[in-house]
Amino acid sequence: MTSPNPARARISIVGAGPGGLTCARILQQHGMAVTVHDRDAGPDARNQGGTLDLHADNGQIALRAAGLLDEFFELARPEGQEMRQLDPAGTIVSHTVPTPDEMFKPEIDRGQLRDLLLDSLQPGTVRWGQALERVSGPAQGPRQLHFADGTAMEADLVIGADGASSRVRPAVSSAVPEYSGVSFLEARFTDVENRHPDIAALVGQGGAHAADGARGIFAQRNSGNHIRVYIIQRVPADWISEGGLTPGDTGGIRSLLLERYADWSPSMRRMITDNDGPYADRPIHALPVPHIWEQSPTVTLLGDAAHLMPPLGVGVNLAMLDACDLALALANEATVDDAVRSYERTMLPRSAETARALEGGAEHLLATEVPDFSDEARPV
């Protein structure tokens, strides 16, 4: 099969996260047809998670190409760039406060970013309730996408933007994410200024990190008077069940955490035990470094599907920059094959360099001082 011109190709993006939606938006900006498939039943099927800092040298570049940068700045929270380093007693040991006009990496909630991107797409672009099971067909195409509901469709290019557990990745790579040895446990706090004023005062308007070398906490202010706290531990991936508990056993998990953080001050332990609702278990996985594959003219990957790394502030920014580079390559190259080659020549070395810099980085979140990681050392 001769690789088609991108303007006439059937392009399918799997995954309606920031990377997939950014790619779709820029393709449509260039008059190209695209379909996005997502396993969620609809845009409001689940909570989209915490807050993100979009950087001027990657995430904001993608939003500018998508024609959405001004709308982003209207939603973003520059004050979210504040960063506090605490000790286990709750004392501030370092404090970064952004200047009033600082816009290098303002914060935005994941849900707000996703809505901004979704609302920018042509009606019907995203097909909800389509959980991909596998991609089949010859490398030269066309490819077949097989969905859990028994349906299938053909595509000339399949773009895997479906995250850590990508169902597109096996079409080009046998790599699977490996557990890092570090796990996050997410705790949520609502109406914090009224219900949790002490926690609100500790965290400030941005993020606050504390660790003692064996365990840590990262707290993050979200919009709407919410705070999310990530309890960071070096534990087996199945540490909850290993302790005879289930993820829904909030009381049992709290008791276990109180034992593990017994040396921390009462004010700091409130961020572990006073949460509203259940915890969310988030073991940290990463793909091998570097993660490369033999180029295919009909399948490529972006974001976590391509280069899953520890959550240190680069994930969504790289995904959106990937999406921008791929969409522009498709807009400018003569064939899909040429576009994929051009994109991967840029994306793979960039992601490998970043992944090497962050390799084992989840472990550093337990250190009393978090390393800089090129100004991107924050969980997201």
Q: pLDDT for 177-230, tens place per residue?
A: 999 999 999 999 999 999 999 999 999 999 999 999 999 999 999 999 999 999
> In this structure, is residue 195 part of a structural domain?
yes
pTM of the complete model = 0.94
> In this structure, is residue 133 part of a structural domain?
yes
pLDDT at 235: 96
pLDDT at 43: 87
In a shared domain, residues 22 and 138: yes
pLDDT at 370: 59
pLDDT at 361: 80
Alpha-carbon gap, residue 176 to 286, rounded angstroms: 8
**Torsion sign (Cα): 117, 123, 127, 128:** positive
Alpha-carbon gap, residue 25 to 379, rounded angstroms: 26
Number of neighbours of residue 214 by Cβ within 10 angstroms? 12
Q: Residue 24 maps to which CATH number?
A: 3.50.50.60
> In this structure, is residue 333 part of a structural domain?
yes
Task: Tell me the HSE value of 253 on the side-chain side, using a 13 A CA sphere.
Answer: 23
pLDDT at 375: 37
Strand 83-86 versus strand 207-211 pairing type: parallel
Label residue 228 exposed, middle or buried (CB < 10 Å: 0-12, 13-18, 19+).
Answer: buried
> In this structure, is residue 377 part of a structural domain?
no
> In this structure, is residue 93 part of a structural domain?
no
Q: Would you call 378 helix, strand, or coil by DSSP?
A: coil
pLDDT at 362: 81
Number of neighbours of residue 80 by Cβ within 10 angstroms? 24
Domain that holds residue 158: 6-80+102-176+287-361
Q: Would you call 105 helix, strand, or coil by DSSP?
A: coil
pLDDT tens string 335-373: 999 999 999 999 999 999 999 998 888 888 898 875 543
Averaged pLDDT, groups of 10, the chain, 380 residues long? 93 98 98 97 83 95 98 96 96 93 94 97 97 97 97 98 97 97 96 97 96 95 95 96 94 96 96 95 95 97 96 91 98 98 98 91 80 39
